[in-house]
Amino acid sequence: MNPSHFRRRTLLTLLGGSMFVPGTWAQAPFDHGFTAWNTLLKKHVRWLPDGTSSQVDYRGFAADRGALKTVLDGMSAVPRASFDAWTPAQQMAFLINAYNAFTVELILTKYPDLKSIKELGSLLRSPWKQQFFSLLGEPRHLDWIEHEQLRPRYPEPRIHAAVNCASIGCPALRDEAFTAAKLEPQLEDGMRRFMSDRSRNRVANGRVEASAIFKWFREDFEKGHLGLNRLEDLFARYATQLSDKPEEQAKLRERALPITHLDYDWALNALSN
């Protein structure tokens, strides 16, 4: 190897992947494949047999806390100017992954001594309002990602089946990172899995019994995206996931069933040992 090439490669390694340009420093390109986060998810997330929900091995994540910190530090290092130059799909994938990764980190601050993420809050401040990380150059909390970025900036209601609140009632944490290249099929797959989970969404007693998510965020599912102008349109779209009975599917497509909402299960989505 040319000695000058060796010196440049050594310097690049020591600087954590930054590239030296005479007179300035240029940050190495951000990994939009989220390779390191994807590796952790593959290692520590398990789909349940029916494939509609997952469990998280928080003990495993705790053992890999150093690797998780590297992932989080990489996300925190992204400048606002770089983020603003990305495509909407790249921005969405980044924000969803950041929400999910920082949620895991929040759980690890007390795990295994907690049964629900809600135990990490207080009477004055919910766990989603805690500013415990930085993103795009400012101190942030999880609600900032979901309610100040994802929901208002992108007319995509299926994000509610992508961000994971570390709870059994929440749509599953995927065992892979979200990427811009696969964002559409990942969002759709997540929504189909969630709507197929009869413990959280179903037709029963002549009505739709749906997750409380569709009560809390009803407006997001009625803004016209994907042709959804009413919540009934959503259940018509996923009629075959909500019921195996042709007559019930027909009523869903006719928007003929009343809607009620189920209680939300805030128990931790931890892997059963």
207 CB neighbour count, 10 Å cutoff = 13
pLDDT in tens, the chain (273 residues): 444 443 444 333 333 333 333 334 456 789 999 999 999 999 999 999 999 999 999 999 999 999 999 999 999 999 999 999 999 999 999 999 999 999 999 999 999 999 999 999 887 889 999 999 999 999 999 999 999 999 999 999 999 999 999 999 999 999 999 999 999 999 999 999 999 999 999 999 999 999 999 999 999 999 999 999 999 999 999 999 999 999 999 999 999 999 999 999 999 999 986
With beta carbons less than 8 A apart as the criterion, state whether 43 and 68 touch: no
Cα separation, 151 vs 163, whole angstroms: 11
Cα separation, 33 vs 195, whole angstroms: 27
Which pTM does this prediction carry?
Answer: 0.89
Q: Which amino acid is at 179?
A: T
Regarding beta strands 202-204 and 207-210, do their DSSP bridges make them parallel or antiparallel, or are they unpaired? antiparallel
Domain ranges of the chain: 1-30, 31-261
Cα separation, 146 vs 148, whole angstroms: 6
Q: Which amino acid is at 251?
A: K
With beta carbons less than 8 A apart as the criterion, state whether 99 and 71 touch: no
99-147 tens-digit pLDDT:
999 999 999 999 999 999 999 988 788 999 999 999 999 999 999 999 9
